[in-house]
Amino acid sequence: MAETTSPSLTTQRTSAPTLAGEPLSADICVIGGGAGGLHVAATAAAFGRKVVLVEKHRVGGEGLNAGSIPSKALLAAARRARAFETASDFGIASIDPKTDHRVVQHYVRRVISATAPNSSVERFTGLGVHVILGAARFLDKRTVLAGDYRVTARRFVIATGSSPSVPDVPGLETVSYFTSDTIFDNDRKLPHLVILGAGPTGLELAQAHARLGSRVTVLDTGRALSKEDPEAVAIALKALRAEGIDLREGVTVERIERLAGLVRLHVTTENGTVTVDGSHLLFATGRTPNVSDLNLEAAGIKYGPEGIVVNRGLRTSNSRIYAIGDVAAGGPRDTHASTWHAEIVLRRALFWLPAKAEPTLVPRVTFTEPEIAHVGLTEQEARAAGHKINVLRWPFVENDRAEAERETAGHVKVVTTPRGRVLGATIVGAEAGELIHLWSLVVSQRLDIKAVAGAVAPYPTRSEASRRAAYRAYASTPSNPALRKLIDFLARLG
């Protein structure tokens, strides 16, 4: 994360509003009740600190209410539908599943409700956290106006997250559309869903809706899953297209218009302009940090279009204030990254330890089928950084568990230094998100490839593929002349 700021960042100061509200003091004031903010609040309270938590919308944040939890519930429903269609591979008659979209939506809501108590106001009040439901606005460098309170604190943590970003396309005002947040409120079949954005969110939602009976077209200005290893992306996109998803890369939407019962997009491609008609439109074109109503200028906090500027310790230009999660510029934007940021801030704010954020240590997962999971450096990133590398692979087609379950697409790919230190790993295939944790540990602890090669994997599991990939580092060992001479000598000794 950036240590310095650019001239374009906002540094202007404004006069503070008239002071109002009942005074309230705290050791730590957390602004934002998403995953990261809740982790800071709960842990600090557990250590006896006086904590104030401010949330203006829904406690639990985007991840619980409109992100990770509902999307995975929707994907789970779609996976069951797909299983009916592909059962003949196992000697069971395949059928065309009949989807009740209202029941699916009820199931998604039920999953949210089941996980919500862990993030409830009641739970955090019980933990000793003073929860304020309302917007927060800085009055000066150490004071926030929140609800009926004027809060002063020794440290502030801004964890306000992000909101869907919708590009300004001519004609957009004439049509209705979903965002990656509002799509989970839908309870009916979408005959032809057009999705703008082929990142992880766009493709996950594309596959889910295709499996639940919608025709799906995905449009992207660049390359689909552009941050991921091209080898892994090619395997995932082949599977998505095989399920009937119309994915078009390198296209630009010039304008949108509303027709009778349709949304028409005028799209520029390398072969000219075409039109794409759909029944519904979904924007999955990224997210924008939530900073607009915080009055950051009054607190002396520098920020820009990518969010609040922080150093590697997640401290802002105001030394009393930290920013974590989506609202912090330059970092990964995942729920687990927010929680990791929270742990760094807690170590610094409570124990004065020199913890620092290193984005490459945070794994990421695209939850399509097959999944793509990654941690550390990709092969391209490692080469660009000037590393001399070895690339180790093991395909799932050579894995007995994958063969038994007829899910053999994909591989484990590991990037190491010539001496064997693991720089990064990419897994594409079934359960890649579960398998990447081993490599996350290896990368974060700067372990050698022999640590994985020497571990015993249970049989038959997909985890064997990681061990077999690690063993590739020693593929040439049996033909080593010196080693063969040593073995011959030892054999002569009896």
- Binding-site positions for FAD read 72, 160-162, 326
* CA distance readout (Å), 212 to 242, 369, 370: 15, 14, 17
Q: Which helix (H) or strand (E) holds 113?
A: helix 101-115
CA–CA gap between residue 442 and residue 430 (Å, rounded): 21
234: its two tokens? 């090619």
Residue numbers in the known binding site for NAD(+) are 197-204, 286
Identify any residues that bridge with 162 across adjacent strands, giving them in sequence order.
289
Amino acid at 486: L
Q: In angstroms, rounded to a whole number, what is the distance separating the alpha carbons of residues 388 and 463?
A: 27
- For the chain, the maximum distance between any two Cα atoms, rounded to a whole number of angstroms, is 92
Cα–Cα distance for residue pair 437/361, rounded to 1 Å = 11
Would you say 119 and 38 are in contact if contact means Cβ atoms under 8 Å apart? Answer: yes
User: Any residues with CB less than 8 A from the CB of 61 and at least 6 apart, and which?
Assistant: 32, 33, 34, 35, 37, 38, 67, 119, 161
CA distances from 415 to 66, 397, 420, 455, 470 (A): 35, 20, 9, 18, 10
Cβ proximity of 466 and 395 under 8 Å: no
Scanning 25-67, the segments in alpha helix (DSSP H) are 35-46, 61-65
Peptide bond before 200: cis, by omega within 30 degrees of 0? Answer: no
Question: How far from each other are the two terminal CA atoms of the chain, in whole angstroms?
Answer: 60
- Taking CA atoms, 105 is separated from 62, 73, 100, in Å, by 17, 9, 9
Binding residue positions: 72, 160-162, 197-204, 286, 326
Residue 327, CA distances (Å) to 18, 234, 287, 385, 402 in order: 27, 31, 10, 27, 39
| In contact, 69 and 115? CB cutoff 8 Å | yes
